């Protein structure tokens, strides 16, 4: 039985995981460890980009 997910890559799931960790207030260091990143830059990129887009979208409503 397949999950019927369209165009969902492992990278997408990791990105979502990082974003959700950040949204829950998990520390940067813990997110980096959980995601297995050695580079601070990668963790920052992975966990920040989409959140800022969402905030921008909500601000358009106000």
The first and second tokens of residue 19, run together, are: 């974003």
In a domain? residue 21: yes
Read off the pTM.
0.62
Q: What's residue 50's pLDDT? A: 66
pLDDT tens-digit map of 3-62? 776 787 888 888 888 888 888 889 989 989 999 988 888 887 776 666 677 788 888 887
Question: CA 13 to CA 6: how far, in whole Å?
Answer: 13
Cα–Cα distances in Å, from 7 out to 20, 31, 55?
20, 25, 25
Residues spanned by the domain of 35: 10-61
Q: What's residue 34's pLDDT? A: 92
Domain count, the chain: 1
In a domain? residue 1: no
């Amino acid at each position: 039985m397949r999950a019927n997910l369209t165009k969902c890559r492992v990278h997408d799931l990791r990105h979502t995981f990082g974003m959700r960790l950040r949204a829950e207030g998990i520390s940067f260091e813990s997110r980096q460890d959980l995601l297995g990143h050695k580079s601070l830059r990668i963790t920052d990129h992975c966990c920040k980009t989409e959140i800022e887009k969402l905030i921008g979208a909500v601000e358009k409503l106000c």
